Amino acid sequence: MSEEKKALNFIEHIIEEDLASGLSKDKLRFRFPPEPNGYLHIGHTKAIGISFGLGETYNAPVNLRFDDTNPAKEEQEYVDAIKKDIAWLGYQWANELYSSDYFQKLYDWAVQMIKDGKAYVDSQTSEEIAQQKGTPTQVGTNSPYRNRSVEENLDLFQRMKAGEFPAGTHILRAKIDMESPNMLMRDPMMYRIMHTEHHRTGTDWCIYPMYDWTHGESDYIEQVSHSLCSLEFKPHRELYNWFRDHVYDYAKEALPMPPKQREFARLNLSYTIMSKRKLLRLVEEGIVSGWNDPRMPTISGLRRRGYTPNSIRKFIDKVGVAKRENVIDVSLLEFCIREDLNKSANRVMAVLDPVKVVITNYPEDKEEWLEAENNQEDDSAGFRKVPFSREIYIEKEDFKEEAGAKFFRLQLGGEVRLKNAYIIKANSVVKGVNGEITEIHCTYDEDTSKKVKGTLHWVSIKHAITAEIREYDRLFMHESPDSDKDKDFMEYVNPKSLTLKTGYLEPSLADVEVGEQFQFQRLGYFNVDDDSTAEKLVFNKTVGLRDSWAKQKPKPQTNENQNKPKPNLQKRSAISVIQQLGKKYTNLAEEKQLKAKAEIEVLAKDVSYDELEPLFGTAVKKAGTRIATLIALKVMLKNGLERNDAINVFIEKAKEDKNDVLVAEASGI
């Protein structure tokens, strides 16, 4: 098998095998089939990325089909939002389709199934049907209406369609096997009566097809070659195939391609709710301001918070396509947006918790416009001018009257560099009646060549503009807020998920537009919120410069060797120690390299993939860190970690390196 084939995920392998078995490439067709009963969230981006990604890989059409079979919960608002989100992510669909387009065809096929003795009208109550279905360990029993004649079933079904009966009086069921070990095969419902207006078909119908009947047959009508869905639908595959095989007999000449259902692990994210029903509750109970609240995991919420399409697509690439369920740490998503904005966001200065600094030896009437680099990561970003004057703001936490040797910011008698400006020295403070420092009096030095350890951001007070700053924290305080069956997930809502502040910003931000993104130096990445106006600027904090939650996570439990002497390793996380060992690795003698390698192999057992994966992007010149990453990765793969595209790319890139040790480690995986 070629190196290229090794990098394929399991779905691509299935497609390649089908092509090798004779499926024509021009018959490949995929679809993304959302139900328009809510807004898309981060969990959907995996399904979107898989389906549209395959379309791009194989140059095959991808349909956007709305499975709109439940008019009681579906709205045009959701349709519009879904289309906007997918387009924003950068994907294009071949056709915009709706399951409601097929209501007549589905009805005609259902009539044919009644005629073939494969469907019947049941007139039991929902409670009776539920009881008669049995349990996973106890077989079901046949409905007393199961053996109605074809004529009676046709008559009742036609009258159901005509609106003669109230909701709940009759349903249409498939006649399969009430003793099947798969409860979904125990005469599943195909149609129910609903006197509810549909957002597209209006009052044309008062019976609506069930999802399992509609979904697969819509795939078949559209001649989808590979129907891809998440793992919770795996038990449905047997029913999917049963329905598909029956309608294939009715339409195989016009529709020769029977679709193939395959399942992948859904995206589960820590500290996040993925249920549309639960997200709707957050909206309805006013916990958030709406579906696009920046704390929501919806795509519209992430967009408003400042996430970029590229960061989300990169995140999906890193997560990969797997067959087993797992939970991805939300810090990986945050890492992706940091990495993206680091390259694209201009640096500016803002102070969010100000204390006044008076530079006593700077003339009162003087001001200067100093040159500041916009983004050192982008050579084309250029420079801007920032004003400097006698009175400036700095962050309160950047000053202490007395501080230890490890405090590299401003303290009495100490010096720091002001970003893009001068070096200042703190000489005295002014305090208010409650003892709080209200002013710091400093002197400045025009000799900026001096070496000082600290650099602070600042803004000139008389030039500063104000803005409302919305700082967001995780919406839930529990890593898995809906995992406790004995507690309502709402109990884990973080009461401090939103903090409002007044920020003082450099004047270059006076004319920003909604959606623009910036790095507030030393504070994080921020974007201009939808609520922002020329009269009142509003900024959202997208993400901090570092993972502030990493320190709050419990340390991994040590094993039975915890009492063995390793004093320098016990207070730090395993991944941190691996990084430290990697930094020194290439400078060590061979004997010490072997010792470091053994330590890394032990530490790797306490490292998660989400912790290791960000190291795949380590700079080429940092060969030692990449070697340490490969050593840990080899252990994790041996212990059951499933390979994905990100892993394969990292290994292949390492094999092409000039460092012999790095190449050897990569080749050994």
Residue owning tokens 């919305």: 470
Cβ proximity of 101 and 69 under 8 Å: no
411's enclosing H/E stretch is strand 410-411
CA dist 490 to 275, 286, 289, 477, 481, Å?
A: 13, 12, 16, 10, 8
33's CB contacts (< 8 A; 6+ apart) are: 65, 66, 67, 215, 218
Largest CA distance in the chain: 101
Cβ proximity of 409 and 529 under 8 Å: no
Task: Find the catalytic residue in 276, 303, 417, 541.
Answer: 276
CA pair distance 117, 108, nearest whole angstrom? 14
Other residues' Cβ atoms within 10 Å of the Cβ of residue 94: 15
Tokens describing residue 594 = 């072997």
Sign of the Cα torsion 426, 428, 430, 435 reads positive
35 has catalytic annotation: yes
CA dist 292 to 234, 276, 299, 492, Å?
A: 31, 13, 8, 20
Task: Find the catalytic residue in 12, 29, 35, 260.
Answer: 35
Residue owning tokens 């797992």: 326
- Considering only CA atoms, which of 271, 233, 312 is closest in space to residue 44? 312
CA pair distance 607, 226, nearest whole angstrom? 36
- Considering only CA atoms, which of 26, 78, 89 is closest in space to residue 52? 89
Task: Find the catalytic residue in 237, 266, 347, 541.
Answer: 266
Q: Which residues pair with 503 in a beta bridge?
A: 467
Name all contacts of 307-311 with Cβ < 8 Å and 24+ positions apart.
307/337, 307/542, 308/337, 308/340, 308/341, 308/344, 308/517, 309/88, 309/89, 309/90, 310/340, 311/336, 311/337, 311/339, 311/340, 311/341
The 3-state DSSP class for residue 32 equals strand
Name all contacts of 387-390 with Cβ < 8 Å and 24+ positions apart.
387/460, 387/463, 387/506, 387/507, 388/418, 388/421, 388/422, 388/460, 389/362, 389/460, 389/461, 389/462, 389/463, 390/358, 390/359, 390/362, 390/363, 390/364, 390/366
Residue type, 512: V
Per-position DSSP letters for 152-171, written without gaps between them: HHHHHHHHHHHT-S-TTS-E
Cβ proximity of 277 and 283 under 8 Å: no
248's enclosing H/E stretch is helix 237-251
CA dist 32 to 47, 64, 65, 219, Å?
A: 7, 5, 6, 10
- Considering only CA atoms, which of 252, 327, 310, 410 is closest in space to residue 43? 327
Cβ proximity of 287 and 490 under 8 Å: yes
17 has catalytic annotation: no
Which residues belong to the active site?
35, 266, 276
